[in-house]
Structure 1
């Protein structure tokens, strides 16, 4: 699909433009993040934004939110050019943003976090007002969420923190909310909670609020977007109207191939379970939750978010690495990369080869390098070879490997964590929603890597909030209230079966 010239609108919609971008460009030193962006964000529409990791989506939204000042071009609000467009101008224009990397302060309560972005909540009754506003908005967006508004953020699950961040963005205090940027808002939500959010987004757009949805979940874009911006290499290469919207059209505009066919269970090169499972665990209170896995299996964890899947992964990690005869080599791919995954002051390369610093016992044979020396010495040449091999293999884009890890987009940071695990000598790899914020092309590559590594005898236990990904698993344990309600084999793992099992009580 050829590139098109950026135009303010692709069709006459009858809506007025809220904010217009005219020739917007943004550079960081020698890196050109955005080039000649021309687009009008119309009142009361939902705009989907698609593109591979590093395509410029988050940078574009940071300019719209006033976080970054454009290097070239100008921005109009309500038809008036604003040469000094910054965060204050964006807020006055009614722009709110829910960034992909959550910005809540963990040591503060939900109500206190509300006051950070709504300083008008002050005076004697500020806490009561903040709590009431947050509870009302949470209930409007996520009915039955169970949050009171007084909880400490550090005690919330990743899903609950995402919900709070979204509700805070839509809350109205002194100025009206006119445009809300949602950057990967469902990346930490289960299917049920994500549907609640999408229904609210459509309702908000119909009520006159412009909603921008950046997501790699193309099905979500199809359901709610009036138009879709497709970005590649810092430019808008296509604007798709709702009438012409399809998953295939979006992927082709991104310059990606369609995802690989899902292999059936009998086609996968798995080691047989003739000798019984390689790993067995009894988890939870009373050890009622039984999990087992064989060499070469891909095991899925499913269910509504916050039902004990991550805790089960952590318990398995602790059991597998504890001293004793059954100690295993384990790698863990964190889902909450900001808190549990990346080391923010380290480089991309240092984050990727982290396991090499733990005594030199990691084997790099999978990446074509030699074994590192023991006794704390590091073979830096071998380490560089592993880093470069995995950079190419998994397609980490956007910066030199010696640059800071935070210079990468969220999706590319997730790739580094995935590469870190696969570059290790681990036989058991635990993955906590590893494709969160990763584009469709990279997901395809990750699925293929998982299958290839499983065929070599590595075992994967994979918690995912995307039900579609469970079709790549040999077996799936469905969780509810920290217990397994059902075990589904590959051919049984349908949307209907997963939903039914997610609301079942513990299976006896």
Structure 2
């Protein structure tokens, strides 16, 4: 049974919060109400505005307009430190403490108990350690507080961060994706702590992308979409399907987008790649997945479902600790992306600006990178060969540039994405993994890339297509593998609707 808040009066109330960056709205009229003795889940897709709202709330950004009230008094923190002094503490997914200091030092850094005269007084280490142990005891944690923080697991480090917040006499505790790096038992332990703190009257804002966890621990839910407030509900009143609809926009789900004319798959076509029970502890439960020559397999799921983690495992960017990979029926071990490339695999990564393009290099050099890496430094491509290669793909993919020598960082997002695609097509891969290939590009460029994916499948290439744009996944996939919370929950055939995918994601929550 869900805990009921002891009071309807919000400890923290935000109304009409707006924030723009270079004239582009990031938050529009956002509202939030946190009550004492309540765990409140903040939900939304990538780009919904959750992180921006937290940064406004904690003084990283200043809101352009709107009102924030803490215990009924207007606030406008100018920094995270000022927000902490007001009673608002945040624990992030990546614990922002000092691993080279002890547990006790992390809990009391900047406010050590002291003894002695006003001049020349010293830190009272015995008291530091006593109070640190007392704060951790409130969380049912019994550890050596004199040991370095780095000697403990991420789960314990997060509890230390929470203990620090308790030591600051926080009224509001914000947990930003605290379970992303925890296993199931560690999540259960954290939730036991949160329930205990809720019982003590703390207001807790819980940001997560795991739907099961929302229903396991939260009392109330606020949903943001595209920077705007969608609504607030008691958790018991908002079922999983309704929550997903609020996050993605039911009006989008209901649109009839149509399906592309998929190229036929040759009967008996071999599995280019077959993953059998491939997983990684804390990142992805064991997954079975096959991709055949000429087949487009869509990988669908909400943020945090494990799509990118699976792509990394298949391309040798991460090492699985369970299962096996077969290429053309033969078991292989991919120790690195170079191994994957040797076996005919290619990956266009999700974050093209940080993991894909080399912004200071020319379009020509970026396109030639993968082919040059495969040839080795003893077989250097000449400038003329690079130019011929780049010009061929500029024409084939319709890349808009004044010259192949233009720095790729000066091109539009859509043209950068086409250049990444060209880089991998230059090595003629047998399996192309596309992770969010249409994110952040205009409609025309999206259509051109989708058409190219279909053309590649017709040529016999196997394609694993990952996208948070569900209408794209259902439109071009021969099969759709659906992930939820780091595990595969089923597959759907070609012609399935967006609603069918969301229903499968929401099932059994």
Secondary structure of the 1:186 match is coil
CA distance in 1, matches of 2:77, 2:220: 28
The Cα of 1:70 is off from its aligned counterpart by 1.9
1:343 aligns with 354
Normalised by the length of structure 2, the TM-score is 0.56
Normalised by the length of structure 1, the TM-score is 0.56
Q: 1:466 aligns with which of 474, 486, 505?
A: 486
1:150 aligns with 148
The higher radius of gyration belongs to 2
1:64 aligns with 57
The Cα of 1:316 is off from its aligned counterpart by 3.9
1:107-140 Cα offsets, whole Å, 9 max, x none, are: 8437379638842258474998499659947984
Contact 2:414-2:441 at 8 Å conserved across structures: no
Secondary structure of the 2:490 match is helix
The answer to which of 358-367 and 80-89 deviates more is 358-367
Q: Equivalences for 1:36-55 in 2 at 5 Å?
A: 36-55=29-48
The Cα of 1:212 is off from its aligned counterpart by 0.9
Contact 1:23-1:37 at 8 Å conserved across structures: yes
1:381-420 Cα offsets, whole Å, 9 max, x none, are: 998654366999634389xx9xxxxxxxxxxxxxxxxx9x
1:356 aligns with 367
2:173 aligns with 180
CA distance in 1, matches of 2:267, 2:214: 41
Secondary structure of the 1:47 match is strand
Secondary structure of the 1:120 match is coil
Say if 2:208 is the partner of 1:215: yes
Contact 2:136-2:163 at 8 Å conserved across structures: no
Contact 1:227-1:241 at 8 Å conserved across structures: yes
CA distance in 2, matches of 1:347, 1:323: 21
The Cα of 1:95 is off from its aligned counterpart by 1.4
Q: Equivalences for 1:242-391 in 2 at 5 Å?
A: 242-257=235-250, 295=292, 310-312=318-320, 316-318=333-335, 321-322=338-339, 327-331=343-347, 343=354, 356=367, 358=369, 359=372, 369=397, 385-387=414-416
1:316-361 Cα offsets, whole Å, 9 max, x none, are: 443672499x543343858xx8xxx9639989999x9996362467
Contact 2:43-2:207 at 8 Å conserved across structures: yes
CA distance in 2, matches of 1:367, 1:205: 61
Secondary structure of the 2:397 match is coil
CA distance in 1, matches of 2:360, 2:395: 15
User: For this pair of structures, how many residues does the alignment match?
Assistant: 397
Q: Equivalences for 1:384-399 in 2 at 5 Å?
A: 385-387=414-416, 394-396=438-440
| Distance change in 2, residues 1:238/1:25 (3 Å) | same
| Distance change in 2, residues 1:161/1:355 (3 Å) | farther
5+ residue gaps in structure 1? 1-10, 261-267, 284-290, 402-418, 436-441, 475-508
1:198-220 Cα offsets, whole Å, 9 max, x none, are: 34333322221111122222332
CA-based RMSD: 6.2
CA distance in 1, matches of 2:355, 2:333: 27
Q: Equivalences for 1:461-500 in 2 at 5 Å?
A: 466-467=486-487, 469-472=488-491
Q: 1:201 aligns with which of 172, 189, 194?
A: 194
CA distance in 2, matches of 1:203, 1:179: 15
CA distance in 2, matches of 1:23, 1:133: 41
The Cα of 1:183 is off from its aligned counterpart by 2.0
Secondary structure of the 1:219 match is helix
CA distance in 1, matches of 2:15, 2:355: 34
CA distance in 2, matches of 1:250, 1:19: 23
5+ residue gaps in structure 2? 114-122, 255-261, 279-287, 300-304, 326-331, 373-385, 422-434, 494-509
The Cα of 1:84 is off from its aligned counterpart by 5.4
Contact 2:19-2:63 at 8 Å conserved across structures: yes
1:496 aligns with none
